[in-house]
Chains A and B, each alone.
Chain A
Amino acid sequence: MSGVRLHNVWFAYEPSRPVLAGLDLYARGGEILGFLGANGAGKTTTFRLLSGLLRPDSGEVEVAGVSVPADPREARLRSAYVPDEPLLYPTLSALENLNMFALLWGVPRSAMRERSETLLRQVDLWAVRHQWVRTYSRGMRQKLALCAALLHEPRVLLMDEPFNGLDIGAVLWARNLLHQFADAGGCVVFTSHTPELVESIADQVAILHQGRVAYSNSRVGTLADGGVLSVYQQVCEGAIQEVDEVVA
């Protein structure tokens, strides 16, 4: 299984204020899941649970068929997490960065150079492969972070705001890359604050609200419901009304 599964997950940084309250989220291999939510809704926390950086208070978290709390090392080998702020070394070049990431993820030495070259050529960074990352634009850094994530050939891609700072060409490239990845059987979970991007890229849409998935549907189903923006508005307005009723 190449998907992700979160079942009845509870997590709190402070015991009195749970960030995730019984979260259920599923994505199969070959699927792209667009994950939406307001700032502070718990999207990044979900990614940190999936990548093993946090342990759930209760519930099940699986990535590519591996329980993350039970075997985080294996889960990390099968997945790649790209945080919103790339984890690159600013004073190393693109090639030097990929060498370090290949080492960190245990890529065979014989494959390091070839995979790096292929990925950098795909993202049009080959010409600047020797340039320090510090002088890269945000979009270039984001592309390189994606290359670093794909280097160990993961089955699951977890991407927090991957389209931030990308120009239109790079977004099109990223869309193709995600579709290729999914077509090959991989699973992609990504967040975005741009409804149009989610509609054009995701096969499945999930909206996180108050620690739970408040809405989940296929792209076709979401479009039939009026589109991501309309659905998001309905979900949030409903919640606001509920809060108003409780306060009253």
Chain B
Amino acid sequence: MMLAGALAWETRSTLRALVPPTWLRRSLLGLLFVMSAAGCAAMALIPFGRAGAAEMSVGLFSGLLVANLLLAAGVAVGGAAALVRQPERFRLLEVAPVSPAAVTALPLASVLLVSLLPLALLFAPFVVAALRLDPLTAGGMVLAGAAAVAWAALLALRITLGLARRFGREQGARFATAFSVVAAFGALLGLRSLLRLSTGPAPVLVFLLLTLFLLPRLWRGAAGAFVALLRQAEPPRFGGEPAWGSPSWGRLLARTQAPWAAFGALPALLCVALVEMPWRGGAAAVLLVSLVMTPLRHLLAPEFERPERWRLAPRGAALRWSLLLNVGGPSALAALAAAAAAGWGEWAWVGGVAVLLALTPLTFTLTKGVARHTAQGALMLVAMFTEFLR
């Protein structure tokens, strides 16, 4: 009973580490996820439903498995990275009156459970549709999907471990978070194509057998190594001599998640640049606006968390403007150049995007969180509607 309670608590903590802290951002993220999940499901299910039972073959598994694996790995890496970045929860468990095995299992199990939540949401429509067509296949689908999640969690641990060992715990965790976004986004984008993969039953059977015999052993090894990593103290990190009299925006930015977030946005950038799709202009505008927002959001996060620092400082307001000009300005110009290159000839659209890019840094002058988020949300919405300027 105590272990179940501890697991529920750990899962909640893992979930909290993954989701944004404010209700507004949580709602937006939730809405975005539900919309994308529903969109993906509908996109894949409509032709799937029309095809009928004849196409309901075991070959579909392979596609589903790959998509499942990618998506779960994405979410699980995010969870493992959060745990690596803030191992206090793990240390708390170490001094709690639970067995050593539970100390290692609880945080990892919570990561796994958190990975399962979005997956359950995304794949529920497939399972329901499959149950109507072929219950046996649907049962197999669930089994294989669960196995894929277990493999994904293992993969997530190994990826996070490797990155943390190579780059240090904190930097490795950031890299892992960026990877998680790429993997999850890739899975969502490629879902429809992946579902059309038809490899036949043999690979699926091999996969299930491997899961049965190999996975538990591999899990034990990975869990042990992961726990050893969490037990280590974070080695100190160092900065160079400051450029006296100049703010350290560059250094601060390099030490935030902004560069990794940009890396995480790479698939979306490629998708908008290369794939012909409806609302392409709107999507491109949203992406460009969010790329200008990203460095400012990360640089200003410590100031919004502790607003008294700049309020107390006689030159706080001047420094804020220096940040908006020196970081927001070049980002907006770079985004404008990208917009001009992408929308050459569509000058009304480029002009609209330019106005939005100029307004983006100004939203960060709003110190009240609700006002700032509302303004930024409104900018995103307007950016989407620049599609009509093309």
Q: Which chain A residues have a beta carbon within 8 Å of chain B's beta carbons?
A: 51-53, 73, 76-77, 81, 83, 87, 89-93, 95-96, 99-106, 109, 112-113, 128, 130-132, 134-135
Q: Give chain B nearest CB distance to A134 CB in angstroms.
A: 7
Closest 8 CB pairs of A and B: A104-B313, A109-B245, A93-B239, A99-B242, A91-B255, A87-B309, A135-B236, A132-B237
Bin chain B's interface residue count: 20 to 34
Would A104 and B309 be within 8 Å (CB), given that A93-B239, A131-B237, A132-B239 are in contact?
yes
Residues of B within 8 A of A92 (CB): 239, 248, 251-252, 255
> Closest residue to B308 on the A side, CB-wise?
A53
Q: Do A112 and B241 have beta carbons less than 8 Å apart?
A: no
Q: Mark B277-311, 1 if CB is under 8 A from A, else 0.
A: 00000000000000000000000001000101111
> Closest residue to A94 on the B side, CB-wise?
B239
Residues of A within 8 A of B252 (CB): 89, 91-92
Q: Give chain B nearest CB distance to A21 CB in angstroms.
A: 24
Q: Do A76 and B313 have beta carbons less than 8 Å apart?
A: yes
- Distance in angstroms between the alpha carbons of A70 and B72 in the assembled complex: 58
With a 10 A CB-CB cut-off, give which of B248, B308, B310 has the most chain A CB atoms: B248
Partner of B315, one of A81, A95, A105, A112: A105
Residues of A within 8 A of B244 (CB): 99, 102, 109, 112-113
- Distance in angstroms between the alpha carbons of A92 and B299 in the assembled complex: 12
Partner of A104, one of B241, B251, B316: B316
- Interface: B4 (CB within 8 A): no
Residues of B within 8 A of A103 (CB): 245-247, 315, 319
- Interface: B211 (CB within 8 A): no
Q: Do B238 and A93 have beta carbons less than 8 Å apart?
A: yes
Partner of A96, one of B251, B306, B310, B314: B251
- Interface: B363 (CB within 8 A): no
Residues of B within 8 A of A134 (CB): 237
Q: Mark B315-344, 1 if CB is under 8 A from A, else 0.
A: 110010000000000000000000000000
Q: Do B240 and A91 have beta carbons less than 8 Å apart?
A: no
A-B contact pairs, 10 of them (CB 8 A): A53-B308, A87-B306, A89-B302, A92-B251, A102-B244, A104-B316, A106-B315, A109-B244, A112-B244, A132-B238
Give me 10 other A-B pairs in contact (C-beta within 8 A), A87-B309, A99-B245, A112-B245 excluded.
A53-B311, A53-B312, A92-B248, A93-B242, A96-B239, A96-B251, A103-B319, A104-B319, A105-B313, A105-B315
Residues of B within 8 A of A130 (CB): 238-241
Residues of B within 8 A of A112 (CB): 244-245
Residues of B within 8 A of A89 (CB): 252, 302
- Distance in angstroms between the alpha carbons of A131 and B240 in the assembled complex: 9
Residues of B within 8 A of A73 (CB): 314
- Distance in angstroms between the alpha carbons of A103 and B237 in the assembled complex: 23
